[in-house]
Structure 1
């Protein structure tokens, strides 16, 4: 084994014989009959688990991860059962983020448990039953009482339910015996506050057991494994990292990915033809395969693909119409379960999903995954494609379909990086104070506690290892009613806290009920009513979408354009703007952001392409490189080369010899027909980083101009849109790296984003309750309370709920750290900023950025037409130059 500081990589592969020797004889015989050999994760992980070591297993779907996690525990449970030592208590705790996955695991355990029992009976052995049970929010009171009478030996649950049972007076006693904790889909938990929440629950469980238990994390493709391992195991009381064996079997399966474009000319082909060609291509993929899983990036996209595939099935035949189905989070649970069952039963030819089928529920046999548009990160690309070729010896097969030139470049580099095993880095939230507040209340319910003991337990969690002591004390102060003015707003202390003696405990007989009914980190999402100023109902939008809106923004609803005026609770007020173009696309809130790591690779590739073009490299060689390294088809290669040539000659026609790359930020000014200047920044750093940069710059620009400056946001850059007659007066150099955070706090304070996120944080931090003594409190009421409280607490800089709202927006929603990094590189001169003169047409690389501020789904045709028009203007500008260059090359 090789490793550092508590972490070691498993390098020794054990044979099946070696593993069978350490198993209970019944379990060994069952396993030997059932499986010809061990899978890669089993060869590396089973013996370390048997030795009682913490293990993180990262490998693709279909490589036997689940059995790897359970086999040793099952073996020891059967040992105990045979020795008559099995008690009515919990030994194995399995936690996953999905209820559907929990039910899957329950069914998957049913088989080995019953088959091993049958084997025992056939040998005349009488052994007690090993019980396994699922406990989630869906579990009835009767089922919970049964669990208390006959506790399961294996408890399958979710992070939220675990937090509740830790304070259930009787059932928590059954958890003292836990010896193994299995955390499934650990990568998806680690990235969100659900992971921070779970990490604290595990430390509280560790306190309850009074000794260490074996932690087993199961993860799909993720990076860096060291950080995920640290997250899984946390730290010892003395601050040293706990040990963990990392099993890296991420590349255990072969993959075959290709990038395709339905037409060779993505500019001049009419929009309708491009989309039709795309649906024909998808239909062809579905027809050639047994079962195709198609991913789109939005729920609306999912519905459109299903609709068009059904139309083609009707027209062309060959595929039954009812063998094509949609699966996304807006569908009811019943519909989703029905689709999952049909899929498992092999009744579907094609299933179309947004993100809901990314995680590991067993969906039966899929032989190809098609992806429409870019999945925005190498990791997500591999996770999605990994859903195909479910068995170990099969190849995971993916077809990436692109109908946009930026998408093509992005996906080509994504696939190249996937083959090079370069994965994006995971972002794990640090010190979320709302999650901390919830757990402090939970700890107070368990028993009276010394402050220093609680702080020690909390800092064992990776998510809170660097928690400043003063933040912890402020949380105690807030929870114990230390901000007395809040009482007049019905925010009462949930705990008592004696700072002199350094102890705290629960306050009031309802504390446990309030905690149990309000536990968890997922905010209540509801749709927001849209009314005109004279209160006429227009329709509904999602809350995520409302977060993005500033007064003056325009969007399409019900086929008409409206301008956002203000919001009140869960109502958005608008006025008609029918004659105007929308500024915010309706699907914007659903878009996945491009990862920072992949964005930098694409920016590097841009530099490489421009160097090749400048040095006169043969286009045939570039085409071969793209086909070999990036797995693109001829159409895609053609489109990518054409795209870069246009940009190259466009900049040459302006006398500019520096091209956008990871070392050069191009900034252009384009004057549109309405007389507005679009100040376009080609910062290819992903949307979260651009979100931070654009908000800071727009704030400074608005202050200087004394007028509202619009933002068009994209993964490849952003544009500040100035009203007619207003000249741009800010540059990236105006934002000092060390001032970025303060500027952003000012920029976001009066926004919808701040109001909504403050409510989410306040409900997590038990400041605004979702449920009081069994009464649901409507989201509208929660929002009204939160808006009032925000006005009250804004003067307390260190108030935990306010501090956490800023942290969540700047670090988790935006990416302030990488934005600061970009600014530092500019200030150090490592990245140059190159400006164009005022242009009458945007550059080819700017099309999608400026269109972000002009387009909507309804206006897809207009968008294509506009790109074609921009293209004609660019080609007119560069035609002579291209002719001169090619003549020179020929002579």
Structure 2
């Protein structure tokens, strides 16, 4: 470290100064600034690049304060809570924090607490907490819901929110904001500290993290800029494929890049891609390099082994998903490889920051685009990173299903006064504008289930005392609530276990989405945890498998969430595509592809949408290029097909990717009024009618019902409902509420979730407004170069297995020849 600050003797006690000097470091200016904010008792948001000692800056005020307490006056108890978005990060920071504590012989206790922490340790922490607790939002919500939480938190002086940019714009962030409001009520002198390397708009973050004093009370501290990262593009044999999404064409070059590096992190966007890339690298691994796999479906024990091996410097590469996006400090990592498209500039800055972890030396990254549209996206992200211009999330209103869970947690902790709790809740950033009527409806829902459900005794979870306070109905209800705390609704998961010779479940390999195994039959093979397995059967919550040595995997598409192309990056892609002078930075084959598209169809302007129509075989195609992400495109295609049906076009199907959507029909599509077809009123009755018929509303309702506590996933005695049981329960309740109480709280929540998380209505509305009067129609005799990737998506959906891959390769060659003829 370098960059010594002013007033060093005043801010840094002698033993801390000696510790820095013993390592040849000087505290950075932002670390000293954070110490000063701590001494003044001020809230602070620190934005500093990776490698700048950001996490240490957050802890230094607490370590100094704890070290300066006179032993006779030491009150003990919980002093600082560190909140991490990832369990692995909390454990890693605990390890890194213990080093200065032990090296300076500080009289400070620090421990982590995550879902992987043993039961006995968690029970002991409630009775005798450490002075510094490193935990996750879910564990904090659980602690707030325990009886006696007031005594646990009364000594709290600081909450540190790490990687704060990943927390605020989600239901998880809503729950954390509510718990921060609770902590401020229990410990009025508590400070709030936010840490991040990638914040586009600090005011958005400050509004979210602000306490009762409002965002104006939060001081912004900005660290010095680090060395700009070196971001290169990998072009396999100097070319970029027309289509594809796995970057399989470049895996040999990826393997060579790993060989040249000390340690590499290979990031992908889905668990399926992680499994695929890991298999490909092992196929090429003639040098027997130690390469590992890390994603969220693997058993916690296996993930910990990989993390420990990385910390010891024993691995040359890890193929990983977003599970390793954040904060973990592995000094040996000198290269980050992004397979396929990045989807967002801020996410890539975060991932690139995993390499090097030294502020004054550049991190190295390698983008590997899987197709030509992804090449545009990677170049746009590369330029945004170089300019330090990032995408961010807008402010959001707090979700009412999350509020219902929090109200229940408060009642489990101690009886509450309704008016006082409302005043407390409205100090939380996302709930500052919460109407009293909405709060009343939430409390009524928690106490009765709502008008249509109040006759069912099982939905009565809180009751009113003679003093007019609300409390949990009984200890059993409180226990069930604590087992189901959290705002993450993952797909229903089943444990993958190796079957014994007698067919009994054995060692656990990991967890897998229930929806995936529903696609398989006993005897089918699939790739998981880097191996090929044969399905033996399913019993309760266990998937029984056996190793399938030398077998080809059926390998159905599965796994993990797929990131959406950010609005920010989509706009930069459109700008790059429109500016023909800018094409000079692109590879020759991509430039030629754009030139052929320009000459044979149209290159749309930045705010225009290209719409192509052409016949092919006995079908008529319409392909449009909004560049707004797969989610918005899927919604748009569903609504378009309804309108096309009404005008007699006889649509047969559609397919979407992040850049385009294609609809094919029996009748010609080039004579339609496209302005009318894409009118913004499709988000009115058309959307309502579609949602009423769609499974998406039931899916959204299930998520809201789980978060709000109407449906419980886990029960005492380690019992757990299957995904099928939960779906059956929520579908029944959904149908009852639609018939008898259509304005029920959870139906309102489900509509709001469907409009944002599942169908991206807000983004679609912005897009329809942007293209109003700006649709460029190209009437073609045959397909265009731009349309080749989206038409291959049709073949991909219909051609599973190895034979399908051969068919797709032949189809790609035919389509390319047709497009450039």
| TM-score of the two chains, using structure 1 as the length reference | 0.80
Equivalent position to 1:388, from 355, 358, 363: 355
**Deviation (angstroms), 1:544:** 7.3
Asked if residue 835 in structure 1 is aligned to residue 777 in structure 2, the reply is yes
CA distance in 2, matches of 1:741, 1:379: 33
Which residue does 2:463 correspond to in 1? 496
Which residue does 2:160 correspond to in 1? 182
CA distance in 2, matches of 1:50, 1:79: 12
The secondary structure found in structure 2 opposite 1:117 is coil
Which residue does 1:720 correspond to in 2? 663
Which residue does 1:535 correspond to in 2? none
Which stretch has the larger CA shift, 50-59 or 304-313?
Answer: 304-313
**Deviation (angstroms), 1:423:** 0.7
Equivalent position to 1:69, from 51, 58, 66: 58
**Deviation (angstroms), 1:381:** 1.5
The secondary structure found in structure 1 opposite 2:221 is strand
CA distance in 1, matches of 2:612, 2:54: 51
Which residue does 2:76 correspond to in 1? 88
CA distance in 1, matches of 2:640, 2:467: 48
Q: Is the 8 A contact 1:365 1:390 kept in 2?
A: no
Asked if residue 152 in structure 1 is aligned to residue 126 in structure 2, the reply is no
**Deviation (angstroms), 1:178:** 0.8
After TM superposition, list the pairs within 5 Å mapping 1:611-650 onto structure 2: 612=581, 625-626=584-585, 636-650=586-600
Change (3 A) 1:48 1:404: same
Asked if residue 457 in structure 1 is aligned to residue 424 in structure 2, the reply is yes
Change (3 A) 1:34 1:594: same
CA distance in 2, matches of 1:822, 1:544: 32
* Residues 640-680 of structure 1 deviation map (CA, whole Å, 9 limit, x = unaligned): 211110101112xxxxxx6313222111223333x233321
Equivalent position to 2:259, from 270, 287, 290: 287
Which stretch has the larger CA shift, 302-311 or 432-441?
Answer: 302-311
After TM superposition, list the pairs within 5 Å mapping 1:432-447 onto structure 2: 432-447=399-414
Equivalent position to 2:767, from 822, 843, 854: 822
Asked if residue 100 in structure 1 is aligned to residue 88 in structure 2, the reply is yes
Which stretch has the larger CA shift, 356-365 or 410-419?
Answer: 356-365
Change (3 A) 1:604 1:474: same
Equivalent position to 1:57, from 46, 51, 62: 46
The secondary structure found in structure 2 opposite 1:853 is helix
Q: Is the 8 A contact 2:272 2:557 kept in 1?
A: no
**Deviation (angstroms), 1:716:** 1.2
**Deviation (angstroms), 1:442:** 1.7
Which stretch has the larger CA shift, 166-175 or 501-510?
Answer: 501-510
The secondary structure found in structure 2 opposite 1:371 is strand
Change (3 A) 1:284 1:435: same
Change (3 A) 1:267 1:137: closer
Q: Is the 8 A contact 1:712 1:718 kept in 2?
A: yes
* Residues 205-225 of structure 1 deviation map (CA, whole Å, 9 limit, x = unaligned): 11112x242111122323222
Which residue does 1:868 correspond to in 2? 813
CA distance in 2, matches of 1:226, 1:40: 22
After TM superposition, list the pairs within 5 Å mapping 1:685-696 onto structure 2: 685-696=628-639
Which stretch has the larger CA shift, 863-872 or 784-793?
Answer: 863-872
Which residue does 2:491 correspond to in 1? 525
Which residue does 1:135 correspond to in 2? 113
Which residue does 1:780 correspond to in 2? 724
CA distance in 1, matches of 2:217, 2:174: 19
Which residue does 1:606 correspond to in 2? 577
Q: Is the 8 A contact 2:148 2:413 kept in 1?
A: no
CA distance in 2, matches of 1:313, 1:202: 49
Change (3 A) 1:699 1:363: farther
CA distance in 2, matches of 1:670, 1:267: 23
Change (3 A) 1:728 1:58: farther
Q: Is the 8 A contact 2:785 2:820 kept in 1?
A: no
Change (3 A) 1:483 1:146: closer
CA RMSD of aligned residues (A): 3.4
Which residue does 1:232 correspond to in 2? 209
Q: Is the 8 A contact 1:680 1:850 kept in 2?
A: no
**Deviation (angstroms), 1:811:** 1.5
**Deviation (angstroms), 1:766:** 0.7
**Deviation (angstroms), 1:528:** 8.8
CA distance in 2, matches of 1:38, 1:718: 53
Which residue does 2:500 correspond to in 1? none
**Deviation (angstroms), 1:875:** 2.3
CA distance in 2, matches of 1:20, 1:331: 49
**Deviation (angstroms), 1:754:** 2.6
Which stretch has the larger CA shift, 372-381 or 790-799?
Answer: 790-799
CA distance in 2, matches of 1:349, 1:749: 51
Which residue does 2:502 correspond to in 1? none
Which residue does 2:690 correspond to in 1? 747
Which stretch has the larger CA shift, 71-80 or 636-645?
Answer: 636-645
CA distance in 1, matches of 2:116, 2:560: 29
After TM superposition, list the pairs within 5 Å mapping 1:572-583 onto structure 2: none
* Residues 517-554 of structure 1 deviation map (CA, whole Å, 9 limit, x = unaligned): 1111122533599xxxxxxxxxx99467899x9xxxxx
Q: Is the 8 A contact 2:239 2:589 kept in 1?
A: yes
CA distance in 1, matches of 2:205, 2:292: 35
After TM superposition, list the pairs within 5 Å mapping 1:160-199 onto structure 2: 160-199=138-177
The secondary structure found in structure 2 opposite 1:480 is helix
Q: Which blocks of at least 5 consecutive residues in structure 2 are unaligned? A: 496-510, 527-539, 543-554
Q: Is the 8 A contact 2:619 2:667 kept in 1?
A: yes
**Deviation (angstroms), 1:149:** 4.7
**Deviation (angstroms), 1:477:** 2.2
Which residue does 2:564 correspond to in 1? 593
CA distance in 2, matches of 1:593, 1:546: 25
After TM superposition, list the pairs within 5 Å mapping 1:661-810 onto structure 2: 661-673=605-617, 675-702=618-645, 705=648, 710-722=653-665, 731=674, 733-734=676-677, 736-737=679-680, 740=683, 743-774=686-717, 775-795=719-739, 796-810=741-755
Which stretch has the larger CA shift, 401-410 or 682-691?
Answer: 682-691
Which stretch has the larger CA shift, 64-73 or 678-687?
Answer: 678-687
Equivalent position to 1:371, from 316, 338, 354: 338
* Residues 728-756 of structure 1 deviation map (CA, whole Å, 9 limit, x = unaligned): 96746345536615533432333333323
Which residue does 1:8 correspond to in 2? none
Which residue does 1:401 correspond to in 2? 368
Change (3 A) 1:728 1:766: farther
Q: Is the 8 A contact 1:294 1:351 kept in 2?
A: yes
CA distance in 2, matches of 1:200, 1:803: 20
Q: Is the 8 A contact 1:271 1:864 kept in 2?
A: no
Equivalent position to 1:303, from 275, 282, 297: 275
Change (3 A) 1:660 1:40: farther
Which residue does 2:504 correspond to in 1? none
**Deviation (angstroms), 1:693:** 2.8
**Deviation (angstroms), 1:54:** 1.4
CA distance in 1, matches of 2:560, 2:675: 26
CA distance in 2, matches of 1:143, 1:602: 50
Asked if residue 245 in structure 1 is aligned to residue 219 in structure 2, the reply is yes
**Deviation (angstroms), 1:192:** 2.4
Give the greater-gyration-radius structure (CA).
1
**Deviation (angstroms), 1:104:** 1.6
**Deviation (angstroms), 1:169:** 2.3
Which residue does 1:469 correspond to in 2? 436
Which stretch has the larger CA shift, 49-58 or 89-98?
Answer: 49-58
The secondary structure found in structure 1 opposite 2:626 is coil
**Deviation (angstroms), 1:200:** 0.3
User: How many residues are treated as equivalent by the alignment?
Assistant: 770
Change (3 A) 1:98 1:589: closer
* Residues 546-584 of structure 1 deviation map (CA, whole Å, 9 limit, x = unaligned): 99x9xxxxxxx969xxxxxxxxx999xxxxxxxxxxxx9
The secondary structure found in structure 2 opposite 1:603 is helix
Which stretch has the larger CA shift, 103-112 or 37-46?
Answer: 37-46
The secondary structure found in structure 2 opposite 1:449 is coil
Which stretch has the larger CA shift, 504-513 or 775-784?
Answer: 504-513
CA distance in 2, matches of 1:489, 1:405: 57
After TM superposition, list the pairs within 5 Å mapping 1:495-514 onto structure 2: 495-496=462-463, 504-514=470-480
Which residue does 1:536 correspond to in 2? none
Asked if residue 113 in structure 1 is aligned to residue 113 in structure 2, the reply is no
Change (3 A) 1:823 1:807: same
